[in-house]
Structure 1
Amino acid sequence: MGTRPCKQRRARLTAGALLALQISLIALASHGTAAADSPRPSIAVTAAGAPAAVRPARLRATAVGAYDAGVLAAARRYARSLYRQASAVSTAGRPGGESGRPGGKSAPGQPVRLGHAQATQLLRNAGLRWMSSGGCSNRRVGTCTSLEAVRAATVENVIALKRRSGCPVVVTGGTEVGHAPGRYSHHRGYKLDIELNPCINGYITREHVLDGVRGDGAALYRDEGTVYARESDHWDILFL
């Protein structure tokens, strides 16, 4: 039986509408779900003046690039802060680049000296501890442990000792009063006391040369520029 002309036209319009809807759905899918490894061709928008569609892979690349740039910028800022901190110590002790005031400016022939807070912060950042039997840091009190006016080179060297040995290092004596006087003394920032422990005891006695006994009976070990004196409850270390 033949189909009437009006019914045929209605069927063609319905099929055309379904086809248009299918094309629209395909266009939307190509924007949101196209795989990066098999990109579909860009679908141009037919509206006048509208730009061509952007592939999802390109959108993802743009987003990842922006994220990576942010991460790299943060990493660079962190690295610069670490570099500035390390530079404060690593330049210590160089001729013509030292100072006689805590955390002070350079003055030829004088050692760079740090304030107590500055020195203890450097120790903490490097994994060392600071301890005071009196729970204080006043340089004028013998029961305190102070690093006020310590040489930056001394702090640098005790940090290097911790890194070489891999041992825990706890500073128990600094520039406070009560130590023996002298040109290369605690008070002048050349010496530190550190707590005894089996790890650091073994490292010093194994890796350094036994070099006699001090007047007070302390065994002396030394390497180039450093003398370790084994006292009853701590190591008394001279960093030259």
Structure 2
Amino acid sequence: MEPEQQTNRDEGIQVLRRAAAALDEIAAEPGQLRLVDLGERLGLAKSTARRLLVGLVEVGLASSDSSGRFSLGERLLGFGSAAGPHISALFRPTIERVSRVTEGETVDLSILRGQRMWFVDQIESSYRLRAVSAVGVRFPLEVTANGKAALAALDDAEVDSIIARFSPEVADGLRAEVAEIRHTGIAFDRGEHTAGISAAAIARRAVGDNVVAISVPAPTDRFLEKEQRIVEALRTAADSPAWNR
């Protein structure tokens, strides 16, 4: 390949990556982000962010309301609407098994979208005192078991891009946790997101190159009692054929 062709190819890939990152952010917080927000999250100059967003709107991949807040465009909505239900259907038997093995604890299925984990399915705990999150909500990455597991499933460049928005102290802590999760295969939230609730999670790339996570949250006292059982259930779930379909 000629040097000029290689340069054009690299520039084209960079534009596609930026567009994908922008759409992930918009999908995570539809109707909430303005141009300045997206520019900051993507680390782009205002002029570069404007050109990118104008292009996405022109081809129907994004839309902007009267106050300048972005949502996914109609062209994308038709493709993306089936992602959650499709992944939920693939993984339903797996999360049901995790629920049985953990003796009725809540099991959540979520997908990485931008800098949030999007909950697409759940087996609700049978216990009176339980941890429950509504399907459709989005949780942050840095303080949740499923979020940290998803970070560990990304490559180093993707992780650096996401955690660059955090303070150096938080970013360093996350890098250390990501390294540990890659070694053990299990991520933990020990009361970081919600006081009194702990969780463990796994995550891998699955259908459509989506990063999918399975997590088990529970009241901390009961989580500590069952921690080994929960971890074993998640390790078994990591071998489910659902990841490869």
TM-score, with length taken from structure 2:
0.21
Larger RCO, structures 1/2 (Cα 8 Å, 6+ apart)? 2
More helix as a share of residues: 2
TM-score, with length taken from structure 1:
0.21
Larger radius of gyration: 1
